[in-house]
Every structure is written in structure tokens, then in C-alpha cells.
Amino acid sequence: MSTTLKFTVLLLALGFCRGLLDNYIDEEETEAPDAQASKFGSLWPLPQKVQISEVSFKLTSSSFKIVDAKESSAGPSCSLLQDAYRRYYEYMFGSTKKLGLSKSRRTGPSELTELQVWITSPDSECDDYPSVTSDESYELSVDLPFAVLKAPKVWGALHGLETFSQLLYEDEYGAKSVNATTISDFPRFAHRGILLDSSRHFLPIKVILANLETMAMNKFNVFHWHIVDDQSFPYLSRTFPQLSQQGAYHPYTHVYTPADVKMVIEFARLRGIRVIPEFDTPGHTQSWGKGQKDLLTPCYSGSKPSGTFGPINPILNTTYDFMNQFFKEISTVFPDAYVHLGGDEVDFTCPIQTFSSSWNSTGFKQDYSKLESFYIQRLLDIVTTTNKGYMIWQEVFDNGVKLKPDTVVHVWIGGGSNEEMEKVTAAGYTTILSAPWYLDLISYAQDWQKYYKVEPLNFNGTEEQKKLVIGGEACLWGEYVDATNLTPRLWPRASAVAERLWSAKDVTDINDAFNRLSMHRCRMVERGIPAEPLFSSYCPREYKGI
């Protein structure tokens, strides 16, 4: 039926780097380096169930096709899948010279010529947006005469295509090969996100798209777009264009137009990725104040305005009129069911005009945190009227603001995050974890291991509480990253988080992870992504840029 080769030998051919293993595990050196190759090859994140046999097939770029299965509920009109077929064909054969053989070339007896993609549910969701309840499961069977990828919805099919592409390797003659394999897969957590910050540094669209592309390679499904902050307001609002006109680093070159935003959302959708924008208030809003008069609280020096500003002004009705209009726009621009409202790190050092009648009328006097809660409460009510759910940073919960039952509380404060998870879930709220995954905090050596070793459910709580943890996000805050260094700094460090959020809880073998991740990173490099190295090693095809 086929050529069989020892699986470990195949792995060596795929991109297994000698130097890398010689040096990684000093104290467990073995004579046979192949003993350290993962039996799961370069799969990342590791699927829930994998069976790889020693039977292998060849694939050629001239014969191999990805096609819709006859029974599939998604046909040629599903451009999401058609696009994905092209994309994965390119990933799999892009670096291979086309053989230019005629279509009538006889294929060998052990050649795999087709992957059939079969959407099994009547509604493929091809034209929908992904959501937190999307079915992302799939089953993959690689065998002759056809490989078959079955998934209830397109979302699972996208993940299955990535997995299929990860099963390919080059044998010792450079021929593309794949072993007979059976995979059954689904994510452990529904919310697997990356936060990028386009305020501290503007991120050109090209950079955002490249990272969405890479997110899909790692089965991430949420792009948390921290789009504005103190430093700049690059979001071009149709309702309030002066916000970016005045608040962006540059009103033309450093903004996201409505067309840009639309493109990002569609590019993400085609890869099964949700785009959740964050418009963080009432703190982190210095840039908002530049284009919107009276939006920020004026700070006082004695009885006079000092010329500087604090958070969003919670005592003016105009504030809520503005927020009402603004979030109405946001609710139509961003299709996702959720919007992130921030609410973190409100700076209370701005001395306010405590003796004015308007302040006294609020009844809060100097209790700033109550004032913040007052603001947030009204904001949440406003956003609720737009039919959106909301995510908020943990402080909003900590301050006792009344939240809708479907609120997602985002735990980010390091030290005590387990206790926070316990509290949030005890109160019945859904939560996601970011505290251990602040990837902007770089350090020397292999910090991916630290991210990898996190267990999100490692807090005291009932089974019911644990079910409220729907996932997590790796955050790359923007103080020190822009187009020059963001991508290599994020990958493959974020890949460690990807596997933690996708794979089974017991997938914790750090050596196996190192081996698979090393190959996964070389695969990203080969696909044009400057993912940085884990340690001394090489990739068969090094990055072509500088």
C-alpha cells in the first residue's frame, strides 16, 4: 500500500534541528537525538486525540487538491472555505517548484491526491461571524483513497486545514509526505485571544493582518484590539471624526479608516477570528480629550483649572450623550456580540473641583472610586441598549459595579489572580485570564516555558466555577513594540498560550512541547512570519527579511 519509514526519521527530515537538541537539555543528553523527537511531529497546538501510523503517502503539487465533499453543506459558493483551500495549498506547496506535469499524470500507488472537506451540519455558518459559542470541532482522517476533514461548521474546518497542513513533512529527498492519521479535535477553551495595542504605537494594517494570519496558524480565535488609549486615538469615527483628527499621532497616516477596520474584521472572519475592540474608559483616555471638548475631567490647581485633565468627566450629561452616540457607532462597525469597555487603572491624582455645585449634586464628593462606579454603571447601561455584551477589566468587578450576567470579567493583575478567578466565578461571572500572559514583559531566555506552564483552572472553586472560565488572552501592550519588532516578539511566545488554551489539560510535557514548537516556529518562518527562535538552532529555510 505504501512506503513505510520510521516516524522518527521522518521528523528529522521535517526540520528537526540538531544543534537545538544538543544544547537544550544539558543534563539529559542521550546518544540518540531522535529519541527526543515528538511522536506528534510538528503539531501545534496538540489536537485532543491523535493517532499517527507509520504508513506514509506522498503528495505532489500537481495532483493534490482540496475539495468540498459531495455531502458537504458548504459548496463552491462558500468563499471562506474556497479562500482557505487556496491559502493552505500555498502553505503546503508554496516553496515547492511546480512540476508542470499534465493533469493526466498517473499518480503513484501511495500518493494522496485529495483532501475532502465535509461540513456536516445543515448550516455551515459560512457567511456568519464566529462567536464564543461557535463549534470549532473537526475530525480528520488521512488515508487512501482520500483524506477527509469533517466538521459541523466552517470554523472547525479552518482548524482542520491548519492541522492537515501541519501533518505534512519532507522526506529525505524533499518529497512532501504525510502519514496515515486520525485526529479528533476541539478546543479546551472557547476564548483564545491576542491583545494588540495600536495606541502606544500605531500598527500599520499590514502588521495587524500578518498577526491575524499567524493567530490562525496557532488556532487563536479572538483579536482583542486595544485600539485607542492615552497616547493616541487612531480609530477614525464617522460620528466624531475630530477624535482621530486631533487625537491620532497623525490624522492621515496614523489612523484606521472605516475601510481599514472592515478589512481587518473580514480578514479575521475568514480565519475564524473574532475582533473585539476595546474602547477603554474612564481612564486611559487622554487622547479622547483632544478632539472632544469637555469630555475629560479638568484638573484643578487650587480653585483654577490647571490645564491638565483626568479621566472621562462623570458628572456632565454631555458625557453620556457622547458615549451613547459613540457606542452606537461602535456597535454597528464591529459585528462581534461583545465589546471590551476597559475600566482599568483609573488615575485619581487629578485634583477636581470638589466645591462646585455640580460635584455636590452627585453626592460623591471626594470618593473617586464611587464616582468611577457611577460612570461605569451608566456606560454599561448605554452599551446594553446597543444589544452588545461587554467585557471589562477586573477592577470594574472589584469595585462592585452591577454587571449583566453575560459580562466577561478580564483578570489581568499579577499576584492574586487565582484568588480573583475564584471570586469572579463565585459571583457567577464568566471570566478570561491574562495575568500570567503579559508578553510585553520580556526577559532573557526561554520565557515561553513560563507561559506554557500556567494552568488557568488552578484556583479553588467548584466544577461550576471552573466552567465559567472560558479562556484567556496573551497581551502584547504597545509601549515597546511597533511594526519593527512586534511580530518576532509575539511569536512563538504566544504559541505557548495557544496550546495551553486549546489542548487537553494533561498536555504539559515541556520537552515534547519544545520539540514540536521548534518545528512549528520554523513553519511560521517558512510561511513568511518572522517568529523568533526558541534557542540555538536553525531552520531549513531561514527568514528572508532582515
At how many degrees (to 10) do helices 368-385 and 317-333 cross? Answer: 40
Q: How far apart are CA 187 and CA 159, in angstroms?
A: 10
CA distances from 264 to 226, 227, 277 (A): 14, 12, 11
Residues binding a second copy (CB under 8 A): 17-19, 22-23, 29, 31, 200-202, 204, 206-207, 210, 230-232, 249-250, 253-254, 286, 307-308, 440-445, 478-485, 487-489, 525, 529-533, 535-546
Shortest Å, Cβ 392 to a second copy: 24
Residue with Cβ nearer a second copy (126 or 236): 236
Shortest spacing between CB 161 and a second copy, in angstroms: 22
User: Nearest approach, Cβ of 349 to a second copy (angstroms)?
Assistant: 11
DSSP annotation of 28 reads: G
* Comparison of 56 and 487: residue with beta carbon closer to a second copy: 487
CB nearer a second copy, residue 230 or residue 329: 230
Residue partners of 539: CB distance under 8 A and separation at least 6: 15, 17, 521, 522, 525, 526
| 97 vs 103, beta carbon nearer a second copy | 97
Instruction: Name the helix (H) or strand (E) containing 165.
Output: helix 154-167
C-alpha cell at 386: 446597543
CA 526 – CA 532 distance, rounded (Å) = 12
166/199 with CB nearer a second copy: 199
Residue that has been written with the C-alpha cell 470554523 in this structure: 155
**What CA–CA distances, in Å, run from 534 to 194, 432, 452, 546?**
20, 27, 13, 18
Q: What are phi and psi of 286, to 5 degrees?
A: -50, -40
Q: Which is nearer to a second copy, 231 or 373 (CB)?
A: 231
For 12, 59, 114, 474, the CA distances from 146, given in Å and listed in that order, are: 26, 12, 5, 37
Least gap, CB of 249 to a second copy (angstroms): 4
Catalytic residue among 345, 419, 455, 464: 345
State in angstroms the smallest separation of the CB of 442 from a second copy: 6
Query: Distance between CA atoms of 14 and 229, rounded to whole angstroms?
Result: 44
Least separation in angstroms between CB 234 and a second copy? 10
Closest distance to a second copy from the beta carbon of 245 (Å):
14
Residue type, 48: Q
Question: Which residue matches cell numbers 528537526?
Answer: 16
Q: Are 364 and 376 in contact (CB under 8 A)?
A: no
Cell of 349: 491624582
Least Å from the CB of residue 464 to a second copy: 38
Between 117 and 248, CB nearer to a second copy: 248
Nearer to a second copy by Cβ, of 150 and 489: the residue is: 489
Active site (annotated) includes residue 345: yes
Report the DSSP beta bridge partners of residue 51: 182
Angle at 480 between CA 242 and CA 196, to 5 degrees: 60
The grid cell for 522 is: 520554523
Distances (CA, A) of 237 to 73, 81, 291, 327, 329: 38, 32, 11, 10, 8
Question: Cα–Cα distance between 282 and 526 in angstroms, integer?
Answer: 43
- By annotation, the residues acting in catalysis are 345
